[in-house]
Structure 1
């Protein structure tokens, strides 16, 4: 099969470190043929570094002139509603970072456009692509199907603030000021303070909101949120208790992110590396306690980071080889949960 021709819309820090650097090495699967960047000096520097032949001043120029099979648009989420509709209307499969937008209403519009124009919109919940998460999910589904270790009872995700860079190299930069761009406003039914809380929550913790659903494989609702923003709790449609510990403590030079899925007679735990750590997969620990003494398994994961595997998964989804890990319709559910969380937390204020 021929290589996919990929266009990039935005090559700032995350665009380079989390995305372009990974697509650039997947030479057997794709080639990055164009990029659009509003800072011309940065655009040229990045294009030269990664061998991208064509540079455009904005996404509209790229859509008009470039012949691409898919677009990676690692924009700040509050600008999605300004850019992504044009790409969806053009019928070009697109990848964006998480979350799909700031508000449920903007997310609903993006989902509607993806449906209307029958265009793939994959949202970048890279943790779903971590080899450790993929392995854990497969084990969990086996246990649910067999019933050998009892019923699933509890899912807990912990992610205190820490060093999420993980020693990654700094991106290329320029001294050009970033142009003023319109950003999506908060919902009409939220105060400015509630919008600030919503913005912070979806920026830092929407990954974990999404990861809980990935491990459950069913919807859930939020039933408790403390006033300090440390904990939220909920329950799935099937009666599984869920908890997200957001800030029980801080770490300065480490990253502590773990996901624990408990059954009646065993658990599956995943410990994830810093989001930008290079080519490190997570670690899986499996405890079984069905017959006599408990046993532990720690399967060896490949030297493949979630961001690289995510790029591979997007390419495969564009080709129709397998479904995208998370499309916009599911990502919209995260915003609904975020909205519910802010409402619950603010009721104590």
Structure 2
């Protein structure tokens, strides 16, 4: 297997902690050969730490001059609609963080361009790559196909705010002023204050909106938005109830994110680690209580692989054509549609005239 040559667009905090540090450990599969970073000292620091030979001032220069097989564009999501079109136009496979964009309209443009050019665009919903979610999803899919535990009845994702950093090492930081980059503007669907609330929801809970669909294995639509802002419910195409529990409480040290999928005669539960906790997968519990058998619980021992590391491996495998990307842009766009529906339901008066 020949190594893939990877270019990085952006070397900020998340770019280093969640992505670059993981690709650097996959030396048998890839080599990070180029970075695009407008801050000269920041670029030198990061290139020196990771042994990266080529430094470019921006993504356009990297696309034009570097010989890369794929690009990781580790950017704030309001930069995606500014930077990613050039990458999609080039035909180079690209990975971006979640969410796809800020607005539905910008996301639609990215999807359309990527499909017209035939360019792979993987969106970084890293929880899909956690060994716990991969295990749980395989069990859920097997039960759906076999019908051995009856029909799927319920999917719940719970994520109270907590310590998502989990003591992660600080990234390299030159101290240079951050560039005042162009950002995707807010859309016209909401007034200014409601746009701010939409942005907050998309930034914080879009992972969970996406994870619900992943576990359902089919689309779902908004059914109810509780005025407290703590509960969102949905209904899947086949009638399965879906629930997102948000900030019912908060923790200062721990991380309590979980996924629960129920069937008539059993359930699968996955408890996930903090997003930046290294070498740590989630924990899965499987319960079966089928008629005619003895009830049983299974708690598998999972590999100590960080979801971010596995996500990088999955992107490389998708670039090589060995598997589909865990989440491509077209599916990621549906997260924005549901988020917009949720905000409209929460703030109808602020939305009705826009």
- Measured against the shorter chain, the TM-score band is over 0.9
Q: Where does residue 326 of structure 1 map in the other structure? A: 327
- Cα RMSD (Å): 1.0
Q: Where does residue 40 of structure 1 map in the other structure? A: 40
Instruction: Tell me the distance in 2 between the aligned counterparts of 1:253 and 1:293.
Output: 38
What does 1:252-271 align with in structure 2 at a 5 Å threshold?
252-271=252-271
Q: 1:219-264 CA deviation, whole Å, 9 max, x = no partner?
A: 0001111223111001000000000001000000010000000001
2:337 maps to 1:336: yes
Q: 1:254-290 CA deviation, whole Å, 9 max, x = no partner?
A: 1000000000111000000000000100100001111
2:222 maps to 1:187: no
Instruction: Tell me the distance in 2 between the aligned counterparts of 1:189 and 1:50.
Output: 43
CA contact (8 A) 1:271 1:284 kept: yes
Instruction: Tell me the distance in 2 between the aligned counterparts of 1:312 and 1:323.
Output: 12
Q: Where does residue 127 of structure 1 map in the other structure? A: 127
Deviation at 1:13, TM superposition (A): 0.4
CA contact (8 A) 1:107 1:332 kept: yes
Structure 1 consecutive aligned stretches of length 4 or more whose deviation exceeds 4 Å: none
Q: Where does residue 251 of structure 2 map in the other structure? A: 251
Q: 1:58-105 CA deviation, whole Å, 9 max, x = no partner?
A: 111101110000000010000101100000000000000000001000
2:174 maps to 1:171: no
Instruction: Tell me the distance in 2 between the aligned counterparts of 1:102 and 1:82.
Output: 11
Deviation at 1:293, TM superposition (A): 4.8
Deviation at 1:167, TM superposition (A): 1.7
2:64 maps to 1:64: yes
Q: 1:174-212 CA deviation, whole Å, 9 max, x = no partner?
A: 211111111111111211111111110111100000000
Deviation at 1:347, TM superposition (A): 2.6
CA contact (8 A) 1:227 1:348 kept: no
The normalised TM-score by structure 2 is: 0.97
Instruction: Tell me the distance in 2 between the aligned counterparts of 1:308 and 1:174.
Output: 25
Q: Where does residue 138 of structure 2 map in the other structure? A: 138
Instruction: Tell me the distance in 1 between the aligned counterparts of 2:201 and 2:115.
Output: 27
Q: Where does residue 302 of structure 2 map in the other structure? A: 301
Q: 1:150-192 CA deviation, whole Å, 9 max, x = no partner?
A: 1100000000000000121111112111111111111112111
Instruction: Tell me the distance in 2 between the aligned counterparts of 1:175 and 1:266.
Output: 53
Instruction: Tell me the distance in 2 between the aligned counterparts of 1:70 and 1:327.
Output: 15
SS at match of 1:277: coil
Instruction: Tell me the distance in 1 between the aligned counterparts of 2:40 and 2:245.
Output: 42
Instruction: Tell me the distance in 1 between the aligned counterparts of 2:226 and 2:197.
Output: 13
SS at match of 2:108: helix
Deviation at 1:131, TM superposition (A): 0.6
In structure 2, list runs of 5 or more residues that go unmatched: none
